Amino acid sequence: MRAGVAGGVLSTLAVAGASGSANAAEPVTQTLELPTLTADLATQVAESADATQQAAANYQLQAERDAAAAKAAKQAKADLAEAKQKAEDKKKAAQEAARKAAAERASRTTERATLSASASASTSTSTSTATGTAAAVIAFAKAQVGDAYVSGGTGPNSWDCSGLMQAAFKQVGIDLPRVSQDQSTAGTQVSLDNLLPGDILYWGSAGSAYHVAVYVGDGMFVGAQNPSTGVAEKPLSYDPPTGAVRVL
Return the CATH number at 143: 3.90.1720.10
Q: How far, in Å, CA of 38 to CA of 43, rounded?
A: 9
Domain presence at residue 48: no
Domain presence at residue 159: yes
Give the CA dihedral 149, 150, 152, 154, nearest 10 degrees.
Answer: -60
Q: Are strands 148-149 and 220-226 parallel, antiparallel or unpaired?
A: unpaired
Give the type of residue at 173.
Answer: G
- Provide the sign of the torsion angle of the four alpha carbons 196, 200, 201, 207, taken in this order: negative
Domain presence at residue 77: no
Return the number of other C-beta atoms located less than 10 Å from residue 142's C-beta: 15
Domain presence at residue 242: yes
Query: Could you tell me which residues come within 8 angstroms of residue 206 by beta carbon, excluding any fewer than 6 positions away?
Result: 184, 185, 189, 243, 245
Domain presence at residue 87: no
The tens digit of pLDDT for each residue in 74-98 reads: 888 888 888 888 888 888 877 887 7
Residue with the bigger pLDDT between 155 and 123: it is: 155
Domain presence at residue 71: no
The tens digit of pLDDT for each residue in 21-62 reads: 444 455 555 555 555 556 677 777 677 777 788 888 888 888
Domain presence at residue 101: no
Give the type of residue at 132.
Answer: G
Q: What is the pTM of this model?
A: 0.51
- Phi and psi at residue 115, in whole multiples of 5°? -65, -40
- From the centroid of its chain, how far is CA 97? 13
Q: Which domain holds residue 158?
A: 121-246
Domain presence at residue 182: yes
Closest CA to 164 of 197, 201, 207, 110: 201
Q: Is a pLDDT exceeding 50 seen at residue 218?
A: yes
pLDDT of residue 29: 54
- Please state the domain count of the chain: 1
